[in-house]
């Protein structure tokens, strides 16, 4: 990976890097953690949050929930297929195609559901309405970044994934809870 660093001040900087596919990416860094990234894809470039940003502000972007098994598949480079998404969650979201979305893990123990992550970020390949209309079949999200990838390693390597939280749309407070 080729890196070019432009320091804006002590806390913020922009890093220009070339990923393994040869695509140039602008990485926006705050306090030594990548918070946003922007693949240079021509005139339609989009700024995506990093998992670090989604941990700091978990309800800033739409979040799709999956079970732990699906996360293992995403780590191996797969895109998120819609059958792996918990459908009750999609029904409460509204986002257009090509919009940045986060992916988090929902796990149930003893009848209680815990939410972990988000663990990945990607581009919605269809709108939330199209996902439901498709019967939740097909590719739903092109995964661009995930927990433990090179972008995550560029930062502090924190593990907020292990800290359960409840999305705002499910309760009034957005604070993380401790196990």
Whether the full predicted model's pTM is greater than 0.75, yes or no, is yes
| Domain 3-170 annotated CATH 3.20.110.10 | no
Q: Within the chain, which residues score under 70 in pLDDT?
A: 1-10, 20, 87-91, 160-179
Question: Each residue of 24-38: b (16+ CB within 10 Å) or e?
Answer: ebbbbbbeebbbbbb
What is the pLDDT, as a whole number, of residue 14?
87
The mean predicted confidence, pLDDT, of the chain is 81
What is the pLDDT, as a whole number, of residue 167?
61
User: Can you tell me the distance from the alpha carbon of 143 to that of 71, in angstroms, rounded to the nearest whole number?
Assistant: 11
What does 25-77 look like in DSSP terms, one character per residue?
Answer: EEEEEETTEEEEEEE--STT---EE-HHHHHHSTTSS-EEEE-HHHHHHHHTT
């Amino acid at each position: 990976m080729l890196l070019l660093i432009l320091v804006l001040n002590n806390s913020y900087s922009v890093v220009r890097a070339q990923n393994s596919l040869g695509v140039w990416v602008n990485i926006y860094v705050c306090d030594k953690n990548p918070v946003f990234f922007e693949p240079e894809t021509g005139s339609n470039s989009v700024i995506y949050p990093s998992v670090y940003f989604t941990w700091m502000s978990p309800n800033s972007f739409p979040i799709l929930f999956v079970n732990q098994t699906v996360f293992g598949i995403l780590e191996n480079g797969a895109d998120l297929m819609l059958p792996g998404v918990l459908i009750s969650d999609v029904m409460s979201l509204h986002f257009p195609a090509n919009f940045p979305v986060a992916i988090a893990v929902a796990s149930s123990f003893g009848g209680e559901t815990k939410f972990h992550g988000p663990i990945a970020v990607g581009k919605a390949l269809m709108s939330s309405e199209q996902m439901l209309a498709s019967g939740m079949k097909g590719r739903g999200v092109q995964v661009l970044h995930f927990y433990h990838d090179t972008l995550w390693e560029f930062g502090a390597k924190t593990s907020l994934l292990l800290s359960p939280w409840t999305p705002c749309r499910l309760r009034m407070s957005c604070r993380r809870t401790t196990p």
